[in-house]
Chain A
Amino acid sequence: MPEKILESFSVKRLDILDERGEADTSLMPSLTDDQIRRIYEVMVLARTFDQRALNLQREGRIGTYASILGQEASQIGSAFALEKTDWVFPSFRENGVYITLGHPPHMILQYWSGDERGLRTTDDKNIFPVCIPVASHLPHAVGAAMAAKYRGDRIAVAAYFGDGGTSKGDFHEALNFAGVFRLPVIFICQNNQWAISVPRERQTASRTIAQKAIAYGFPGIQVDGNDIFAVYRATKEALDRAKGGEGPTLIECFTYRVSDHTTADDASRYRKKEEVDEWKTKDPLLRLRLYMEKKGLWTAEYQKEVELKAKADVDEAEKKAESIAPPNPRDMFTYTYAALTQKLQREIKDF
């Protein structure tokens, strides 16, 4: 008997805004001029924050820090599509997501300076705390989506991770659950090409990360992760699908980690400067700015204003972060269980 083809697949890639700021109007998501300006302003704020955090780390004023340089479109474009009622599960390189969703920048600095209180979001925000063990938060996103579905809440869950995370068992277990239970969850992979020193080719022999979704029975798409419009559009569509009961989506944002892995890393040990320089030309802020200029939404004066505002906000965040009273050592005990245990009642007396 002849062999039959049971499945074949194709993987889509979405590009809308190119490096010269030209947008494919047929694919443009519906965003007002005000929204585009707002996105640009958040991108500038996120980059200003990121640069400041790196400086503060060098001066020993905060601890190890993970820079988002180059990944602003992936983070801000996706987060901008979220609604307040949606749940978000970040990994550890999502400062742009936190900023877009309105978590105060001074608290982000507070966290990176080693204070858990910086991750205490307000009760009206459904952002989970930073997750450091790679991809281990993806099952949490799946569980939240199961809970939302069980309760009949019309929300979606977004989980952020990197290319390295796709090698982990939890990534596969989570995608499998999401497919089997047709959950309202979107998996946002920022494929930034490097998991510390290991290149993407060493994480998987697949041509794309997007195609991994197909094995779990739901769509995956690759988008230009430095193209804010492509990221926004893909996320918005995935959210609509999730809320419409059509199940999960995997979005691969094809981007680049321009900085070191963290401030404890030196990327020059394992990758070439030419590669980094090449990616700098694909800068997500620059191309949005060129687009806005063509549309009459950007002037040199506007740029100056936006930069000044961002600097003032970050100055304020820095000042606020550094004026916060140090954490109380008793907090170690009071947040371990809901109530102090017999042993903790004794131990807390040390403070």
Chain B
Amino acid sequence: MVQAINLALREEMQRDKDVLILGEDVGRDGGVFRITEGLLEQFGPERVVDTPLAESAIVGAAIGMASYGLKPIAEIQFLGFIYPAMDQISNHSSRIRSRSRGRYTCPLVIRAPYGAGIKAPEHHSESCEALFCHMPGIKVVMPSSPYYAKGLLISSIRDPDPVLFLESTRLYRLLKEDVPEGEYVVPLEKARVVQEGRDVTIISWGFMLHRVLQAVEGFDAEVIDLMTLNPLDEETIYGSVKKTGRIVIVNEEPKTGSFGSELSASIAEDMMLFLKSPVIRVSAYDTVLPLPRLEDYYMPSVEKIRKAIADAMRY
């Protein structure tokens, strides 16, 4: 997935001179995960900007650039370090269009690695996508494979609104998949039916999708990869609810207030008459995210997901 994201950045920067990158260590170092490797050499320091270590100013400056007419891609080194930029994301990136009644817009992408499972230090493993789904005006995109990462990132860069693009650290080097060179896009705001099934629907996104695909073995399960969390593709989800009537939602956020909770509530509210079982959420625990020696206990396991599917099937 590292190469796929790098390729998307490279191709978009070749295509459009307004696209540029800013963040910590994105230039000479090529990013701590090497996502931006080689881009400084190809595009120069005006377009691949190593900034001072300051998340709020990285996002804030990107907002200024976007309003000026550029298409900046800001990298936050780890999702756990995004909190100083929350004010910029919530109070500004999402609201400039509305506050200026369309005079200014914010076509900005914020990329950040997320998730546990790579034995990283504290604050390097967060999964807090729900916080951003609670901010009208921004889009939240979480790819689950190299192919989709490239196509979704290209769509995000071209999108006229701010997009938070969350990349699973676990997926960076996990999968090999053919990724076409050259232009293709995967549209935002569209979920993807990964496999069709009749008895139960599993909704997931990012890294957790891969555990889901292991867990569904033996069930006649439909699997949906959300890809864009907000704005939500209700049509695809509700279509599947009508079909199977049983829903299991799998994410690696703490359960309380997770995006899975929002999905669960929406399905219960809008689709109750189609449901054969309660909507079941499989999430991380409502604990502080542990250091690496306990992270395997913290993240939803394949067994935990299997058990939830079996529970749904009992109804």
Residues on B with beta carbons closer than 8 Å to the beta carbon of A6:
none
A296 interface contact, C-beta 8 A: no
A38 interface contact, C-beta 8 A: no
B295 interface contact, C-beta 8 A: no
Q: Is the CB of A173 within 8 A of B56?
A: yes
1/0 contact trace for A6-17 toward B, CB 8 Å? 000000000000
Interface size for B (C-beta < 8 A) is 49
Task: Sample 18 A-B pairs with CB under 8 A, ordered by A number.
Answer: A87-B68, A116-B100, A119-B99, A121-B100, A128-B104, A129-B99, A129-B103, A140-B64, A142-B64, A143-B61, A144-B65, A147-B64, A173-B60, A176-B54, A332-B98, A338-B97, A342-B231, A344-B231
Q: B residues touching A (Cβ–Cβ < 8 Å)?
A: 20, 46-47, 49, 51-52, 54, 56-57, 59-70, 72, 84, 87-88, 91-92, 96-105, 136-137, 139, 159-161, 189, 231-235
Q: Is the CB of A140 within 8 A of B92?
A: yes
Closest chain A residue, CB of each to CB of B101? A120
Given contacts A143-B72, A170-B57, A337-B161, 18 further A-B contacts (CB under 8 A): A116-B99, A116-B101, A128-B100, A131-B92, A133-B91, A136-B87, A140-B60, A140-B64, A140-B67, A142-B64, A146-B64, A147-B64, A148-B68, A177-B54, A177-B57, A335-B97, A341-B232, A343-B231
How distant is the Cα of A312 from the Cα of B84 in the complex, in angstroms? 47
Q: Is the CB of B60 within 8 A of A338?
A: no
Q: Could you tell me the distance in whole angstroms from the C-beta of A93 to the nearest C-beta in chain B?
A: 17
A138 interface contact, C-beta 8 A: yes
A169 interface contact, C-beta 8 A: yes
Once A342-B235, A343-B234 are accepted as A-B contacts, the answer to whether A139 and B64 lie under 8 Å apart by CB is yes
Q: Is the CB of B103 within 8 A of A147?
A: no
Which 4 residue pairs across A and B have the least CB separation, nearest first?
A143-B64, A139-B60, A341-B231, A143-B61
Q: Is the CB of B84 within 8 A of A338?
A: no
Residues on A with beta carbons closer than 8 Å to the beta carbon of B100:
116, 119-121, 128-129
Within 8 Å by CB of B68, from A144, A177, A341, lies A144
How distant is the Cα of A88 from the Cα of B23 in the complex, in angstroms? 25
Closest chain B residue, CB of each to CB of A130? B99
Q: A residues touching B (Cβ–Cβ < 8 Å)?
A: 87, 89, 116-117, 119-121, 123, 128-131, 133, 136-148, 150-151, 169-170, 173-174, 176-177, 180, 331-332, 335-338, 341-344
Q: Is the CB of A177 within 8 A of B101?
A: no
Closest chain B residue, CB of each to CB of A170? B56
Q: Is the CB of A136 within 8 A of B92?
A: yes
Q: Is the CB of B46 within 8 A of A176?
A: no
Residues on A with beta carbons closer than 8 Å to the beta carbon of B136:
336
Q: Is the CB of A136 within 8 A of B65?
A: no
Q: Could you tell me the distance in whole angstroms from the C-beta of B266 to the nearest C-beta in chain A?
A: 9
Q: Could you tell me the distance in whole angstroms from the C-beta of B17 to the nearest C-beta in chain A?
A: 9
Point out which of A143, A331, A337 has the most chain B C-beta atoms below 10 A from its C-beta: A143
Q: Is the CB of B160 within 8 A of A144?
A: no
Q: Is the CB of B61 within 8 A of A146?
A: yes
Q: Could you tell me the distance in whole angstroms from the C-beta of A178 to the nearest C-beta in chain B?
A: 10
Once A119-B100, A142-B61, A177-B52 are accepted as A-B contacts, the answer to whether A338 and B68 lie under 8 Å apart by CB is no
Q: Is the CB of A343 within 8 A of B160?
A: no
Within 8 Å by CB of A143, from B63, B102, B159, lies B63
Point out which of A87, A123, A177 has the most chain B C-beta atoms below 10 A from its C-beta: A177
Once A119-B101, A169-B56 are accepted as A-B contacts, the answer to whether A141 and B64 lie under 8 Å apart by CB is yes
Q: Is the CB of A143 within 8 A of B51?
A: no
Residues on A with beta carbons closer than 8 Å to the beta carbon of B103:
119-121, 123, 129
Residues on A with beta carbons closer than 8 Å to the beta carbon of B56:
139, 169-170, 173
How distant is the Cα of A338 from the Cα of B158 in the complex, in angstroms? 12
Closest chain B residue, CB of each to CB of A331? B101
Q: Is the CB of B60 within 8 A of A336?
A: no
Within 8 Å by CB of A136, from B69, B88, B97, B101, lies B88
Residues on B with beta carbons closer than 8 Å to the beta carbon of A150:
20, 46-47, 65, 70
Q: Is the CB of B52 within 8 A of A139?
A: no
Q: Could you tell me the distance in whole angstroms from the C-beta of A58 to the nearest C-beta in chain B?
A: 26
Q: Is the CB of B60 within 8 A of A138?
A: yes
Residues on B with beta carbons closer than 8 Å to the beta carbon of A341:
189, 231-232
Q: Is the CB of A337 within 8 A of B60?
A: no
Q: Could you tell me the distance in whole angstroms from the C-beta of A204 to the nearest C-beta in chain B?
A: 20
Q: Is the CB of A140 within 8 A of B63?
A: yes
Residues on B with beta carbons closer than 8 Å to the beta carbon of A336:
97-98, 136-137
Within 8 Å by CB of A176, from B57, B84, B88, lies B57
Point out which of B51, B99, B105, B161 has the most chain A C-beta atoms below 10 A from its C-beta: B99
Q: Could you tell me the distance in whole angstroms from the C-beta of B200 to the nearest C-beta in chain A?
A: 24
Residues on A with beta carbons closer than 8 Å to the beta carbon of B159:
338
Q: Is the CB of B65 within 8 A of A147?
A: yes
Within 8 Å by CB of B52, from A129, A140, A180, lies A180
Residues on B with beta carbons closer than 8 Å to the beta carbon of A89:
64
Residues on B with beta carbons closer than 8 Å to the beta carbon of A87:
68
How distant is the Cα of A337 from the Cα of B162 in the complex, in angstroms? 9
Q: Is the CB of A342 within 8 A of B65?
A: no
Q: Is the CB of A174 within 8 A of B60?
A: yes
Residues on A with beta carbons closer than 8 Å to the beta carbon of B49:
146
How distant is the Cα of A170 from the Cα of B86 in the complex, in angstroms? 12
Residues on A with beta carbons closer than 8 Å to the beta carbon of B88:
136, 139
